[in-house]
Structure 1
Amino acid sequence: MEELLEISSQLIQTTQTGFKRYLYSKIEWDEKLIGIKGARGTGKTTLLLQYLKEAQLPESHIAYFSLDEIYFLSHSVVEVVKAFYQSGGKIVVLDEVHKYPNWSREIKNLHDRYRDLQVIFTGSSIIDIAKEEGDLSRRAIIYELHGLSYREFLSFQKGINLPIVKLEDLINPGFSLRSHFPSHFLPLAHFQAYLRSGYFPFSGESERIYFKKLRQLIRTIVEYDMAEIKGFDIRNGKKLLQLLYLIAQLVPFKPNISALAEKTLIHRNSMVNYLIYLAEARLIDLQYPAGISVALLQKPEKIFLNNTNYLFALSENKPEAGTVRETFFNSLVKVTHKVQYSASVDFLLDGKFHFEVGGKNKSGKQVKDEMTWIVKDDLEYPVGKSLPLWVFGMLY
């Protein structure tokens, strides 16, 4: 127990608080039970260590425990947190809860027993809070942390601090995007760097090392985190990696389930579930038509990789420009808006806004009404109904 508290103290003291993820300001920190989901590498641990560091409480009143510590193989979370609480503890962070059996039941017990103790927990994006024992979904406020936006990348890596742009402002004809940013800001100067290696907070190293880390991250998610999914046989991890690699060469595409099954030796009846597993792990995104329950579908209409960095790390050849554009748009817009498949344009947002994504020569023939816009990757600022691609990285 003392060793855990020493580790906690050291981590809190050495955590930097200069740059904070977008989610930090959105969390209702007054709540007593908070859960944060997210894919590996997005910065959940750092975010919560920052919160503890700025809590303005004595060191003995705050604690960070990672549940993948060996200590928890022979000690329960309940007994550790009980001892911490009886010593004056006020805030406890439980990291990597999916690594600990019966975590949801024990967290529920802690919340019910110690009403003045704030419990914050983090877990993989794979876990389904609503289906866990203990029914935390009614007790906890759950957030999800996504990768860096282009705006966050500019702040984190380049020291360029810029305001958020809301979609409703961006599509407003009376809104001046140019005056929204400093006059010296060059929006495309670092855009390609972000597309290649800016989505995760551990970017900034050599690109070769970064891509190697990404591939290792993907293997860890598939070979270890997938074990937390009920019904998934981890012995099929190799097939899942093969499927992901195949998808990386094809995206974005409308899946042919039989063809994917044949190439990966995954049974056709299991293929849709495997795609859902990869989506839950935030390795891919599945796009469905508007107005149809996902649960009733046999397959998604379109598949994307989760972010452009995965494209560059997994593609055998340089990804096509069109693929990069659409992957970027999808990965950033989905954080703040509902993205759905449309048969007439590339993307349908919130069930009413239509966007066609392309390069500088993209024509405006798809703009048939006031609810449709063209998105181009060579623009610095809007021109009529054409919007710059980069600005969709400023939504959070």
Structure 2
Amino acid sequence: MEILIEFQDRLLKSTTNDFRRYLHGQINWKQRMIAIKGPRGAGKTTLFLQYLKFDLGLPSTALYITADHTWFYNHSLLETATDWYKMGGRTLFIDEVHKYPQWSRELKNIYDGLPDMQVVFSASSALDIYRGEADLSRRVITYTLPGLSFREYLSFITGKQFDHIALADLPTRHRDFSRQILHELQPLPFFKKYLQNGYLPIIAEGEAEYLLKLEQVVNAIVDVDLSYIASFNAGTAIKIKKLLAVIAESVPFKPNIAALARKLDMSRDSVYQYIYLLKDARLLNVLSAEGSGVSTLQKPDKIYLENTNLIHTMTERPETGNIRETFLLGQLLNSGKVVYAPPAGDFQVGDMVIEAGGKNKKATQVKDTLQYMIAADDIETGIGTQVPLWLFGFLY
């Protein structure tokens, strides 16, 4: 076990408490088994280490491990947890659990066989905890950590703290919110940078290298994470990357499944399967009309990349309208909203229809809708139903 303890100690030594993701305060850390899903680079590892170092105070009863450590070449998770328990351990943090072949079965065995052991694990967003080899659905509480909101990005970059804004308050209070934020900084220059390279905390490692590192993240998700989960080969990975490239260049992408199947030399069912797999992996967002169902064989009305940084990574000439809609949909979904494709306008949340556009965007498309907002780009403050697009980045 010494090699694992030394590995943990090296990571903890460089862990700071300067910035915490919003999810940190929402997790019920007293649960016996906790899962945190999210894209690579979102900060799951840092969240674990911060809790271990600054909340628990480095207790001798807690241990951080990662499932892709060489230790697991000849040791099992169950064996490791049991040995740790015998040494007095009562909390085990397991990172990248989806890289361990029999994760579900052994987590169940740990839960049932070591009733005093708390397990907190992280995994790829594509990991389906409720469809594993063993039933964990009654044992685990699951949280999802998306990329940074624009609000978090501002705090991360400037050190200034901002409160999150409820979507229900935007129609009547957006001017007040804008003025409060403008008192601290001018948001538009930061917003432009965020759209290109601010969604993941890896921005701390340097702005110049960000898009290259994001490309490496995408490759790792497709080539490594999804191959563990879906067991596809290198040829399939290439086709999936081609699918992502097609979507990145669209305005936004309204899928023609038959045409995609021919272009990628796949069956229609395979195209549907990989679209929804990429959605689970937090590389795509899909949008359907209300009441149309969520079957993996149901064609979505529109498909977007999961965040605007991916667009900048995959195309040299990103389309402005696509950027705006991708940002808006992502912030709405990440804040926990259920979003549909309305008959008129871009997005529908409950009875509210939201249309994204530039600063001169008119309400022509949604004027017959009872409740609507225009999410307008390139403005610091709005008026009436016109709300600054950047302000939707404060929803979480």
The two structures have a TM-score, normalised by structure 2, of: 0.94
Tell me what 1:156 maps to: 156
Matched, 1:69 2:69: yes
Amino acid at match of 1:140: V
Post-superposition offset of 1:340? 1.4
Q: Match for 1:32: what amino acid? A: R
- How many angstroms apart in 1 are the aligned matches of 2:51 and 2:151? 22
Change (3 A) 1:13 1:90: farther
> Is there any run of 5+ residues in structure 1 with no aligned partner, and where?
none
Structure-2 separation of matches of 1:55 and 1:204: 23
Q: What amino acid is the match of 1:360? A: K
Instruction: State the AA in 2 paired with 1:146.
Output: P
Matched, 1:285 2:282: no
In 1, Cα distance between equivalents of 2:325 and 2:116: 47
Asked if residue 243 in structure 1 is aligned to residue 243 in structure 2, the reply is: yes
90-99 or 362-371: bigger deviation: 362-371
Q: Pairwise mapping of residues 11-30 of structure 1 onto structure 2 (< 5 A)?
A: 11-30=11-30
Instruction: Name the SS for the 2:28 alignment partner.
Output: coil
Following TM superposition, by how much is the alpha carbon of 1:305 offset from its aligned partner in structure 2, in angstroms?
Answer: 0.6
In structure 1, how many angstroms separate the alpha carbons of the residues matched to 2:205 and 2:122? 26
TM-score (norm 1): 0.94
Structure-2 separation of matches of 1:273 and 1:196: 29
Deviations 1:87-121 (A, max 9, x none): 11122101111111111111111122222222101
Q: CA deviation at 1:199?
A: 0.2
Residue 144 of structure 1 is matched in structure 2 by 144
Q: Using a 3 Å threshold, how does the CA distance of structure 1 residues 175 and 137 change in structure 2: closer, same or farther?
A: farther
What is the match of residue 98 of structure 1?
98
Supply the distance in 1 between the matched residues of 2:70 and 2:27 (Cα, whole angstroms): 30
Match of 1:271? 271
Measure the CA separation in 2 of the matches of 1:173 and 1:59.
45
Work out whether residues 177 and 382 of structure 1, in 8 Å CA contact, stay in contact via their aligned partners in 2: no
- Further displaced range: 210-219 or 293-302: 293-302
CA distance in 2: counterparts of 1:60 and 1:204, whole angstroms: 30
Aligned equivalents of 2:383 and 2:278: distance in 1?
Answer: 38
Q: 1:273: Cα distance to partner? A: 1.1
Structure 1 residue 179 displacement after superposition = 5.2
Return the letter of the residue paired with 2:36: I
- Give the counterpart letter for 1:97 in structure 2: V
Which residue number in structure 2 is paired with residue 215 of structure 1?
Answer: 215
Alpha-carbon separation, structure 1, partners of 2:290 and 2:155: 35
Q: Is the 8 A contact 1:13 1:53 kept in 2?
A: no
The farther-off stretch of 338-347 and 304-313 is 338-347
Contact 2:353–2:369 (Cα < 8 Å) also in 1: no
Deviating beyond 6 angstroms after TM superposition, the runs of 4 or more aligned structure 1 residues are none
Q: Given residue 346 of structure 2, which amino acid in structure 1 is its aligned partner?
A: D
Does residue 376 (structure 1) correspond to residue 376 (structure 2)? The answer is yes
**Letter in structure 2 aligned against 1:247:** I
**Separation of aligned partners in 1, 2:107 and 2:266:** 37
Q: Determine if contact 2:95/2:121 at 8 Å carries over to the other structure.
A: yes
TM-aligned CA deviation for residue 373 of structure 1: 1.1
Structure-2 residue corresponding to 1:255? 255
Residue identity in the other structure for 1:262:
R
Q: Who is 1:35 aligned against? A: 35
Between 147-156 and 131-140, report the one with greater CA deviation.
Answer: 131-140
Contact 1:67 1:97 in 2 (8 A): yes
| d(CA) in 2 for partners of 1:80, 1:57 | 22
Following TM superposition, by how much is the alpha carbon of 1:134 offset from its aligned partner in structure 2, in angstroms? 2.2
Percent identity of paired positions between Structure 1 and Structure 2:
42
Q: What letter corresponds to residue 176 of structure 1 in structure 2?
A: D
| Equivalent residue, structure 2, for 1:353 | 352
Q: Name the counterpart of 1:330.
A: 329
Give, in whole Å, the separation in 1 of the partners of 2:113 and 2:175. Answer: 51
Deviations 1:315-357 (Å, cap 9, x if unpaired)? 1x321211111011011110121111112110011x3211011
Question: How far is 1:158 from its partner?
Answer: 2.0
Letter aligned with residue 56 of structure 1:
L
**Alpha-carbon distance in 2 for matches of 1:58, 1:334:** 35
Give distance in 1, aligned partners of 2:174 and 2:361. Answer: 24
Q: Deviations over 1:116-158 (max 9, x none)?
A: 2221011100111111122111111100110011111111122
1:318 and 2:317 are equivalent in the alignment: yes
In structure 2, relative to structure 1, the CA distance for the partners of 1:385 and 1:182 (3 Å cut) is: closer
Q: 1:231 to 1:213 in 2, by over 3 A?
A: closer
C-alpha distance in 1 between matches for 2:170 and 2:147: 22
Residue 184 of structure 1 deviates from its aligned partner by 3.5
Supply the distance in 1 between the matched residues of 2:45 and 2:175 (Cα, whole angstroms): 37
Instruction: Kindly provide the CA deviation profile for residues 202-252 of structure 1, in whole angstroms up to 9, marking residues without a partner as x.
Output: 014554421111111111111111113346445411111111112111141
Counting matched residue pairs gives 394
Structure 1: distance between partners of 2:216 and 2:181: 37
- Label 1:270 to 1:369 Cα distance change in 2 as closer, same or farther (>3 A): closer
Distance 1:370 1:58 in 2: 54
Q: CA RMSD in A?
A: 1.8
SS in 2 for 1:313: helix
Q: Matches of 2:192 and 2:182 in 1, distance apart?
A: 20
Instruction: Return the alpha-carbon distance in structure 2 between the equivalents of residues 253 and 76 of structure 1.
Output: 44
Contact 2:379–2:388, Cα closer than 8 Å, also in 1: yes
